[in-house]
Amino acid sequence: MSRCFVSARRQNVPEALLEAIGESIREHGASALSLRDVARRVGVSHAAPAHFFKNKAGMLSAFAAQGFRRLADVVEDELDRSKAVGGAQALASIGRAYVRFAVAEPSQFEVMFRLDVLDATSSELQEASDRAFSLLITTIEQCRQEGSLGDRDEMLVALAAWSIAHGLASLWISGQLEWRIAEANIETLASSVSQLFVDAVLGRD
């Protein structure tokens, strides 16, 4: 019996494993995640994940890195779409895209920021998160060049922008908002909060 043939029909195994991590976390929570369950979902022996990712931390780091790459992709798309409208609106777009990604892939988003479970030395992970971060920095730089930053410190604005989007996404995912905020549509909330921030910090229009 050829297992290789079966898995060739299925698809790239490491890729399928990463996909299964999301499923597993969605069903049983991040703290219950196990190599064996992930392997089971893909229909592969429980030793397979370690074969490709070295160990559990390695697998989760690959998953987190993929998350940062996806986040960067989503943000880039959004930036392309709002290229013409200036830095301030581009910043609002990033906020919206950030929250949209987090809410669409809460399991991945969660793992991306749980360093206790990751291999902190993974260069794949660092590169991926750097790429995402640099998109924010570039946009703030654009704001500065357009003069909408006033005398504010660039890094501080970047940090505030990241914080507000990250906080909104985290609070939503943790379930703290649904029963506290009447308008419980996260897309709308993300738009409103991003716009509030940009209007207030960078000046209206």
Partner DNA sequence: TGTACATCAGTGAACGCGCGTTCACTGATGTAC
Query: By the criterion CB under 8 A, which residues form the site for its own copies?
Result: 29-31, 113-117, 120, 129, 133, 152-153, 155-157, 159-160, 162-168, 170-171, 174-177, 180-183, 189, 192-193, 196-197, 200-201
Near DNA by CB under 7 A: residue from 30, 50, 160, 173: 50
**Which of 64, 71, 72 lies closest to 18, judged by CA?**
64
Q: Is 48 in the site for DNA (CB under 7 A)?
A: yes
Q: For residue 128, what are its two tokens? A: 């991926």
Compare residues 17 and 161 and give the one whose CB is closer to DNA. Answer: 17
The nearer residue to DNA, 1 or 200, going by C-beta atoms, is: 1
Rounded Cα gap, residues 43 and 120, in angstroms: 29
Which range in 30-38, 65-73, 101-109, 194-202 contacts DNA by CB under 7 A?
30-38
Region for 55 from its dihedrals, namely left if φ exceeds 0, alpha if ψ lies in -120 to 50, beta otherwise: beta
Provide the token pair at 193: 């909060």
* Inter-residue contact 36 to 99 (CB < 8 Å): no
Distance CA 202, CA 66 (A): 32
CB of 62 to DNA, least distance (A): 13
Closest CA to 21 of 112, 128, 133, 101: 112
Q: Please, what is the minimum distance in Å from the beta carbon of residue 10 to its own copies?
A: 29
Q: Say if residues 17 and 49 touch (Cβ distance below 8 Å).
A: yes
Which of the ranges 27-35, 104-112, 143-151, 168-176 carries the binding residues for DNA, by CB under 7 A?
Answer: 27-35
Which parts of this chain interact with DNA (CB under 7 A)? 2-5, 7-8, 13-14, 33-37, 39, 44-48, 50-52, 55-57
